[in-house]
Amino acid sequence: MFIFEHFTIFGLPINQNLAILMEKRNARILVVDDDLDILQAAKLFLKQHFTTVHIENNPKNIPVILQENHYDVVLLDMNFSREAISGKEGFMWLKTILEINPITVVIFITGYGDIELAVQGIKEGASHFLLKPWDNKKLLATMEASLQMSYSKKELEDLRNKKSLLLTNQNDVFADIIGMSKSMEKVLATVEKVAPTVANILILGENGTGKEVIARAIHKASERNKEVFISVDLGAISESLFESELFGFKKGAFTDAKEDRAGRFEVANKGSIFLDEIGNLSQPLQSKLLSVIQNKKVIRIGTNREIPIDVRVICATNMPLYQMVSENKFRQDLLYRINTVEIQVPPLRERQEDIPLLADHFLNIYCKKYKSVLKRIHPSAMARLKTHKWPGNIRELQHSIERAVILSDSDVLQSTDFFSENPERHDPQLPDFPNLNLEETERLLVRKVIEKHGNNISKAARELGLTRASLYRRIEKYGL
């Protein structure tokens, strides 16, 4: 029976080597030295601690090796010519390595070192300096420190890349807005003018027209673009949760308040908050919202402390706010607060020339998403898409394209992939509206679509371009 503690490999007890062997670091190491004995010794030791160790005795191969492989750490000899002790060759190859990949961590190894040479090596970009023959414990400690430096460099590089991408996207303010029609040109011109200001914005338009896309474009083009953009669907928040969701609460304020939590306005501080479906708020909630927007302060539930906020407010609705004001259903003072500038987003039926652009955009997205060959739309089908009324607007077109990509086996999408050719399944004619009252028109339309889908709320909501919660509110509102 052997007692392993009395045997050593490379200066470490065997049992310690065995323990470390079980915990290899996932790292790629390259050792470059003209001494084959040094290379083999380094490889045998380092392989016990790191997953990948490559060795090279000819420094002229460094450019090819680094072009084809990535290494976390490179151990580089400073002298490759016989009798050389100046380290000149090492500095030359260090420069080459850093030119190929500036974030590579390089450790100099040499048998002829002094303090001045070490200092110069660090100045030139090396991370550490080791003398041969090295102590294995010191080598391992140096490798660990160098790996941490390598990981930090990678994280910094990733952050720089992300920042660069973010700035590129910010420069392209309208990247997500697709359209070249005159009506959309007018919208974009308004966005370009108001975005740099601090004015509150009210975006009006039917469901599915892209109001949130416009709101995000405003934020992206504003001076707040480095801060958060918080989107809130007011139609999906019940009246009882309104204050806790928007203004936050203190631990113990109510039964489920198990910890302090900031509301959406606090989270959006210094940035922008998008309040969608603001027309659905009851008058008591309108009053609370007005107070926050007007005073620029929130009070969490369960406290009396006012928290100052600096938030740009962008609101949106498909409801007739001005008519609601005249009917005392919406506060006039709140309307004045939220619509310093008003943007009307046109429905899709009024921008037919944009339909081919939107269709191709969604087609590319869903062909990639479902790993399908890139399909195209037959000209006759595209003509049909352009003449369709699209009551659900862009959202309906998007769903139609997605469905066609999933279900069609052909590379060319036909009209039948978007519209049923069965006369029995054609959309029923809309009712003759007795008057032009918008609320009555909406009531009749909602009732007709619900009947069409046999009271299937999900299908009816999808066709109307509404969420289920929004449709339920309309059903309750109109007593359907």
Q: What is the pLDDT of residue 83?
A: 61
Last residue of a domain, one of 291, 312, 344: 344
* CATH number of the CATH domain containing 35: 3.40.50.2300
Residues 154 and 192 occupy one common structural domain? no
Domain that holds residue 135: 4-160
Same domain, 202 and 314: yes
Verify that 268 and 393 share a domain, yes or no. no
Task: Looking at the structure, tell me whether residues 13 and 147 fall in a common domain.
Answer: yes
Residue 466 belongs to a domain with what CATH number? 1.10.8.60
Indicate if 340 and 364 belong to the same structural domain.
Answer: no
CATH number at residue 328: 3.40.50.300
End position of a domain, from candidates 344, 378, 412: 344
Whether 165 is in a domain gets the answer no
Same domain? 390 vs 336: no
Considering the domain boundaries, does residue 173 fall inside one?
no
Mark whether 331 and 359 lie in a shared domain: no
Residues 230 and 143 placed together within one structural domain of the fold = no
* Same domain, residue pair 16 and 154: yes
Check whether residue 218 and residue 330 sit in a common domain. yes
Mean pLDDT by 10 residues, the chain (480 residues): 33 43 78 89 91 91 85 88 71 87 86 72 82 86 88 75 48 66 92 94 94 94 92 89 92 84 92 94 94 94 91 95 94 95 95 92 92 89 92 92 91 88 45 58 82 79 80 78
170 located within any domain: no
Q: For residue 428, what pLDDT is reported? A: 44
Tell me how many domains the chain contains. Answer: 3
317 and 436 assigned to the same domain: no
Q: What is the model's pTM?
A: 0.55
Residue 457, in any domain of the structure: yes
Three-state SS across the chain? Answer: CCCHHHCEECCEEHHHHHHHHCCCEEEEEEEECCCHHHHHHHHHHHCCCEEEEEEECCHHHHHHHHHHCCCCEEEEECCCCCCCCCCHHHHHHHHHHHHHCCCCEEEEEECCCCHHHHHHHHHHCCCEEEECCCCHHHHHHHHHHHHHHHHHHHHHHHHHHHHHHHHHHHHCCCCCCCCCCHHHHHHHHHHHHHCCCCCCEEEECCCCCCHHHHHHHHHHCCCCCCCCEEEEEHHHCCHHHHHHHHHEECCCCCCCCCCCEECHHHHCCCCEEEEECHHHCCHHHHHHHHHHHHHCEEECECCCCEEECCCEEEEEECCCHHHHHHCCCCCHHHHHHHCCEEEECCCHHHCHHHHHHHHHHHHHHHHHHCCCCCCEECHHHHHHHHHCCCCCHHHHHHHHHHHHHHHCCCCEECHHHCCCCCHHHCCCCCCCCCCCCHHHHHHHHHHHHHHHCCCCHHHHHHHHCCCHHHHHHHHHHHCC
Residues 188 and 141 in one domain: no
Query: Which amino acid appears at position 452 of this protein?
Result: K
